[in-house]
A and B are shown apart, each in its own frame.
Chain A
């Protein structure tokens, strides 16, 4: 018999395409876009969850990777749009409108940034780590604001959504399908990582770093690898988010974005593979419903979040399956 949590996971996961297909039947493209947005934000938080949920690394700067993914898309597509080659100093490349190429660049760039930030930030733990990741996020935010080449504070618009072989990405439901397939793939990979020797060692390093060192593994290296993979996945989500909106701006780097990713994870239930998916869907739903009720809907969101943190530590999944968080 399947565990209640597994059933719930499947239900929530399948609810996303169900909503998208129902919206297609009812001819409500905006709802499909909402579902796509939820799936992309979920993907970003699934990336963070590897570092935060499994590795115990409270990164308050994952917007860096989200933003880098976004700007990877924005910069490549804007050069393709203007037919001006992109001069990188050492070599010159052409812009591109091809999603697979853009994704690869987004993943590489954010993995590289995660490596550099991780090398510095992982020298510390606890509050220092939180503050440092937050500070690096702010560095990228101000850098993009003061760098005029790609729109500065105003951001960068891309007029036509990028292409994927065999699909019409301008059709909302086809783009949703593509995003959903990527989310499913990444969740599958994350599930494998969690159960792999690496994932087990990473989880142990969170609970008791000495135990990991005793068997000859380096907690620092485990965490660094986790941080890099985590950043790469969030970077991919950033490229998709930019493609959804056909717009990138410094707000993708903002600290609120980083905070929201953590909120998704905790709303859903920390340390659970599907926690970020549940959390992101719930967030997008709340945002949609509450913002219709009141201009000041963030007050309600804050109150809900405060309640979850103070009284419902297992998140939504924990409340529904009747057990607390997996972390104790």
Chain B
């Protein structure tokens, strides 16, 4: 492999890392909500969208990217808390089918509601000027500063989340809630407040991811659902309820998706003509993460870090 292609490869690994860490922010909330409340939440993608729209609106009004990020956290957490109190709370005792349907209904309401307020055209959230250019990494690799920032922010949030769960009082309550709901209620923890808090926390993580990614892609209605389904793949691979599994699964999926898209057409160009290699390669690459999921399922039906 030549020097140029090694550089290309490192760049793609960084891209994979970046998309993986954003997936982690989505998957962590989903897996936490499932682990603590036993709820499958299809509307998690809507919270991602709400975060992105809030950021785009605030950035448009104030011009400040930091304020935009703060807005995405606040808006998504607030929307999450309202949704939990109004709807989600009634679903904890229901079967998964009811949860799927009610949260599917929420997607319809939230997506169309957003379209109603903001219109059908995509919004654009600009990367702050200071981060718009590339930075030079050791080895002379030019990489967009903003994407590097996303990786760093994502890793910091992940570390913060692990600390929150492992070290703080609220984390102890969350872990206790995962293993025995009735017991911690009996011990005097306000369980419904804890549930609202966990849901809002998951929502805030999703909203932040939406805002961070929204600056690279466009901000539009329906942007959340493809990410939601990828986050499901992550959770199936990592194991439901495991934050560590969500992190490992997210990085695996991010790297497989990104590298597959680049390497498969390249690898196939050795055995077939260029145009065919591109089309077959990209078709195969679009399936690669699902094949990864299938392989994990064959050997570990409950995921890499799943129990029971």
Contact = CB atoms under 8 A, between A and B. Distances in A.
A296 B116 contact: yes
B261 to A, nearest CB: 10
B297 to A, nearest CB: 5
Contacts of A298: 108-109, 111-112
Interface residues of A, number: 43
Given A126-B96, A302-B108, A306-B106, A131 B298 contact: no
B48 interface: no
B294 interface: yes
Interface in B249-308: 279, 282-283, 285-287, 290, 293-294, 297-298, 301-302
Contacts of A19: none
A127 interface: yes
A280 interface: no
Which interface residue of B109, B113, B282, B287 has the most chain A CB atoms within 10 A?
B109
Which interface residue of A131, A263, A270 has the most chain B CB atoms within 10 A?
A131
A128 B240 contact: yes
A120 B232 CA distance: 16
A171 to B, nearest CB: 36
B229 A259 contact: no
Contact of A255 (B225, B285, B293): B225
A266 B102 CA distance: 11
B211 interface: no
B96 A130 contact: yes
B244 to A, nearest CB: 18
A138 interface: yes
B50 interface: no
A296 B301 contact: no
B108 to A, nearest CB: 3
B229 A138 contact: yes
Contacts of A132: 236, 293, 297
Contact of B298 (A120, A297, A305): A120
Interface string A125-144: 01110111011101100110
A3 interface: no
B100 A148 contact: no
Contact of B287 (A52, A120, A139): A139
A142 B286 contact: yes
Contacts of A145: 286
Contacts of A25: none
Contacts, number: 120
B12 to A, nearest CB: 18
B106 A296 contact: no
Interface string B86-118: 010010000011101110111111011101100
B302 A147 contact: no
A127 B96 contact: yes
A146 B101 contact: no
Contact of A299 (B108, B226, B302): B108
B236 A263 contact: no
A265 to B, nearest CB: 9
A114 B104 CA distance: 24
Contacts of B229: 134-135, 138, 255
A128 B105 CA distance: 21
B19 to A, nearest CB: 15
A301 interface: yes
Contacts of B225: 255
A135 B290 contact: yes
Nearest to A147: B283
B235 interface: yes
Nearest to B222: A256
B59 interface: no
A2 interface: no
A58 B297 contact: no
B143 interface: no
Contact of B108 (A131, A143, A301, A310): A301
A104 to B, nearest CB: 26
A10 interface: no
A124 interface: yes
A147 B40 contact: no
A75 to B, nearest CB: 15
Interface string A42-65: 000000000010000010100000
A262 interface: yes
Contact of A131 (B87, B98, B236): B236
A310 B97 contact: no
B101 A266 contact: yes
A296 B119 CA distance: 11
27 contacts: A58-B100, A120-B298, A123-B297, A127-B40, A127-B240, A130-B96, A131-B235, A134-B232, A135-B232, A138-B226, A138-B290, A139-B286, A143-B283, A143-B287, A146-B282, A146-B283, A255-B229, A263-B101, A266-B97, A266-B101, A297-B112, A298-B108, A298-B109, A298-B111, A299-B112, A305-B105, A309-B98
Given A146-B286, A270-B97, 8 more contacts: A58-B97, A123-B297, A128-B302, A131-B233, A132-B293, A146-B282, A147-B279, A306-B102
Q: Which 7 pairs from chain A and chain B are nearest by CB?
A: A302-B108, A302-B109, A139-B290, A131-B232, A305-B105, A142-B286, A306-B105
Interface of B: 34, 40, 87, 90, 96-98, 100-102, 104-109, 111-113, 115-116, 225-226, 229, 232-233, 235-236, 240, 279, 282-283, 285-287, 290, 293-294, 297-298, 301-302
